[in-house]
Amino acid sequence: MDAVVHATLESFDAATHDRLSADPVRNTVALTSLDRIRRSPATEQPPILITFHENGDVIGTLVRTPPWPFQAADLPLSAVELAAGLAAKIDPDAPGVTGPRERSEAFATATGKNYTESLTTRQYRLTTLAPPSAGGTSRMATEDDVELLGAWRKAFLSEAVPEAPAAPTTEAMRTSLRLGQGHALWVIDGTPVAWAVASRPEAGMTRIGPVYTPPEHRRHGYGAAVSAVATRWALDQGATDVLLFADLANPTSNSIYQRIGFEPLDDWAEFWWKH
Q: What is the 3-state secondary structure (H, E, C) of the chain?
A: CEEEECCCHHHHHHHHHHHHHHCCCCCHHHHHHHHHHHHCHHHCCCCEEEEEEECCEEEEEEEECCCCCEECCCCCHHHHHHHHHHHHHHCCCCCEEEEEHHHHHHHHHHHCCCEEEEEEEEEEEECCCCCCCCCCEEEECCHHHHHHHHHHHHHHHHHHCCCCCCCCHHHHHHHHHHCCCEEEEEEECCEEEEEEEECCCECCEEEEEEEECCHHHCCCCHHHHHHHHHHHHHHHCCCCEEEEEEECCCHHHHHHHHHCCEEEEEEEEEEEECC
Answer yes or no: do 131 and 192 share one domain. Answer: yes
- Picking from 84, 113, 142, the residue at the C-terminal end of a domain is 113
pLDDT value for 231? 98
Give the chain's domain count: 2
State the first-to-last Cα distance of the chain, in angstroms, to the nearest integer. Answer: 31
Mean pLDDT of the chain: 95
In a domain, 87, yes or no: yes
Answer yes or no: do 130 and 109 share one domain. Answer: no
CA dihedral (121, 125, 127, 131) positive or negative: positive
Answer yes or no: do 42 and 171 share one domain. Answer: no
Mean local confidence (pLDDT), 62-89: 97
d(Cα 154, Cα 219) in Å, to the nearest integer?
Answer: 21
pLDDT value for 238? 97
In a domain, 271, yes or no: no
Answer yes or no: do 132 and 106 share one domain. Answer: no
In a domain, 274, yes or no: no
pLDDT value for 127? 98
- Picking from 113, 138, 168, the residue at the C-terminal end of a domain is 113
Mean local confidence (pLDDT), 76-105: 97
Environment class of residue 213 by beta-carbon count within 10 Å: exposed (0-12), middle (13-18) or buried (19+)?
A: buried
In a domain, 103, yes or no: yes
pLDDT value for 40? 85
Beta bridge partners of 139: 185
> What's CA 156's distance to the chain center, in Å?
14
Answer yes or no: do 75 and 155 share one domain. Answer: no
Lowest-confidence range among 48-52, 65-69, 124-128?
65-69
Answer yes or no: do 236 and 144 share one domain. Answer: yes
pLDDT value for 39? 87
pLDDT value for 41? 81
**Does residue 43 have a pLDDT over 80?**
no
Peptide linkage before 210 cis (omega within 30 of 0): yes
Answer yes or no: do 155 and 258 share one domain. Answer: yes
pLDDT value for 44? 80
Answer yes or no: do 64 and 133 share one domain. Answer: no
71's CB contacts (< 8 A; 6+ apart) are: 29, 30, 33, 62, 63, 64, 65, 97, 98, 99
pLDDT value for 239? 98
In a domain, 119, yes or no: no
User: At 275, is the pLDDT very low, low, confident or very high (cuts 50, 70, 90)?
Assistant: confident
In a domain, 259, yes or no: yes
In a domain, 38, yes or no: yes
Mean local confidence (pLDDT), 226-249: 97
Answer yes or no: do 98 and 177 share one domain. Answer: no
pLDDT value for 42? 76
Domain housing 215: 125-266
User: At 103, is the pLDDT very low, low, confident or very high (cuts 50, 70, 90)?
Assistant: very high
207, 260, 267: which is closest to 233 by C-alpha?
207
pLDDT value for 202? 95
- Picking from 113, 141, 176, the residue at the C-terminal end of a domain is 113
**pLDDT (tens digit per residue) in 133-173:** 999 999 999 999 999 999 999 999 898 877 777 777 899 99
d(Cα 233, Cα 14) in Å, to the nearest integer?
Answer: 31
Residue 210 belongs to domain with CATH number: 3.40.630.30
In a domain, 120, yes or no: no
pLDDT > 70 in the chain, percent: 100
Answer yes or no: do 66 and 149 share one domain. Answer: no
Answer yes or no: do 175 and 106 share one domain. Answer: no
Answer yes or no: do 188 and 212 share one domain. Answer: yes
